Amino acid sequence: MDVTDLVGKKVVLDTGGSILYLGTLEAVMPEGFWLTEADVHDRGEGHMSKELYVIEARKQGIAANRKRVLVMRSIVMSVSTLDDIVEH
């Protein structure tokens, strides 16, 4: 599957650092990923692990704090749909 197949879906973009991006994938560009109605979450500012935060977002919905954001491709470690998140 190509990441462009996920356009229009709610996705999770995980980084190697403490930042996590959730939102609707609007476009895939050579430089990065455009998300709309996005939540830019810094794990360092909260008490939940990235995994728990994503599980809560799947249950409760994405708490958008940006209308639109470009996430640079170079910082993204993984891309998955919010529906693909598994709760243990």
Distances (CA, A) of 45 to 18, 49, 51: 9, 11, 15
**Residue-wise pLDDT tens digits, 6-32:** 999 999 999 998 899 999 999 999 999
Is residue 81 domain-resident?
no
For the chain, the domain total comes to: 1
Domain assignment of residue 30, yes or no: yes
Residue 19 lies in a domain: yes
pLDDT at 74 over 90: yes
Answer yes or no: pTM beyond 0.85.
yes
Q: Residues 33-62: pLDDT tens digits?
A: 999 999 999 987 777 888 899 999 999 999
Is residue 45 assigned to a domain? Answer: yes
Which residues span the domain enclosing 9? 3-75
The DSSP annotation for 10-43 comes to EEEEEESSSEEEEEEEEEE-SSEEEEEEEEEEEG
For residue 47, the domain's CATH number is: 2.30.30.100
